[in-house]
Structure 1
């Protein structure tokens, strides 16, 4: 009995040590597992932050490209306007020489000088980017001088002026009239493109698509026709 009394506390102490070691090992394992989870979370957060930064960089790049495209488009439209205005002026300067060479002259007008002044007034307003006033002036010219040899230019620039003034309904109507009345004019493809843009601004996308299709089919080699073809192809891909 005496021997038993001495051995039992020793064995109890041994069991306590083993249990303590097991608990310590379990605690150490739990700590390691938690540490691994924290490291995994931190790693995921770092990856997410890197991905977010990459997305932001791509977005900034795309915005920059968009701004460049808008700037190029504005510059292109300005060059196109200046080109046609210059061409219009050159052609009208050639008309007197052509008449002197024996080309049949148009029917006499009540006041050809006033006709010219009215057209110049509208054109000068357009050059000054006073689009609303220019549009109204061109419309007045079209109604006042229905037999004028400048009806084509007045119609085209009237359409352009109205579109720039955000009067897209009138702009679309005049662009359509120009393309239908003077289909052989070099500005006809641009007129159809302008009509499509005005229709899109009016959210009449079905009609705009039809005009782009007409432009692509009728003037496939023109710059406007090529742009229409690309847009139609892109629209077709999006629908798929």
Structure 2
């Protein structure tokens, strides 16, 4: 009886041991399938994340381009507004000169003038004001190269004109609009150097900073822009200089 019990116990022990043996996880087809699915899911998630990043990058690039376009439009509007102010000034000066002539008893006799040549029959070889208006009209029409040449000619022919500082500024501006930043920088600097009392000084300093920015001369650009703010704090040029400095800081420049 004891032998039977001992044998039965041995059989039970073997059975228990056998029952504890399972198929290794790597050989379990269900587990293997689950692992494969998890791997595929991870791959899909990575692809989706990459697509999302690509989409975000594309949107950022689009927004950056739109911001650049808006900045260009703002500069064009500022350019046009400046032109309107100049035309108003020209109109005022023209009216004022006519009133002065009337108060003095009529038109002047034919003579050689400082800024234009009048002949005996009253016809005039282009006056400084007419030459200026012609050059400015070319600028308004978008003929920037021709406008630049016209303003350069004006500066050469009428160095003593009250409009020569404006002509020098618009000569520089015509180069700037054509993205000739090196040439524009040189011409804007002439406004500052030759006409220190000109009302175009703040705008010229601002545009010098803009040109240096485009030429990757970051330190010089920052110096000019900070100078605008320091010397002309209440001007529109100072506000625009501050905006460009903020942009440069955001770009790490």
Q: Is the 8 A contact 1:132 1:161 kept in 2?
A: yes
Relative to 1, partners in 2 of residues 1:221 and 1:158: Cα closer, same or farther, differing over 3 Å?
Answer: same
CA distance in structure 1 between the aligned counterparts of 2:54 and 2:217, rounded to whole angstroms:
39
Alpha-carbon offset, residue 41 of structure 1: 1.2
Question: How many residue pairs were aligned?
Answer: 234
Pairwise CA RMSD of aligned residues? 4.3
Structure 1: unaligned runs, 5 residues or longer? 1-6
Structure 2: unaligned runs, 5 residues or longer? 1-7, 105-111, 119-123
1:231 corresponds in structure 2 to 244
2:173 corresponds in structure 1 to 160
* 1:190 maps to which of 194, 203, 206: 203
Q: Is the 8 A contact 2:192 2:205 kept in 1?
A: yes
Alpha-carbon offset, residue 26 of structure 1: 6.1
Normalising by structure 2, we get a TM-score of 0.69
Relative to 1, partners in 2 of residues 1:121 and 1:75: Cα closer, same or farther, differing over 3 Å?
Answer: closer
Relative to 1, partners in 2 of residues 1:201 and 1:48: Cα closer, same or farther, differing over 3 Å?
Answer: closer
Q: Is the 8 A contact 1:88 1:153 kept in 2?
A: no
2:80 corresponds in structure 1 to 79
2:27 corresponds in structure 1 to 27
Relative to 1, partners in 2 of residues 1:68 and 1:215: Cα closer, same or farther, differing over 3 Å?
Answer: same
Q: Is the 8 A contact 2:166 2:200 kept in 1?
A: no
CA distance in structure 1 between the aligned counterparts of 2:65 and 2:75, rounded to whole angstroms:
15
CA distance in structure 2 between the aligned counterparts of 1:221 and 1:54, rounded to whole angstroms:
42
Alpha-carbon offset, residue 79 of structure 1: 2.9
Alpha-carbon offset, residue 215 of structure 1: 0.5
Q: Is the 8 A contact 2:25 2:31 kept in 1?
A: no
Q: Is the 8 A contact 2:169 2:188 kept in 1?
A: yes
**In the alignment, is residue 99 of structure 1 matched against residue 100 of structure 2?**
yes
Q: Identify, as 1 or 2, the structure richer in helix.
A: 1
1:115 corresponds in structure 2 to 127
CA distance in structure 1 between the aligned counterparts of 2:250 and 2:68, rounded to whole angstroms:
25
Alpha-carbon offset, residue 165 of structure 1: 2.9
Normalising by structure 1, we get a TM-score of 0.72
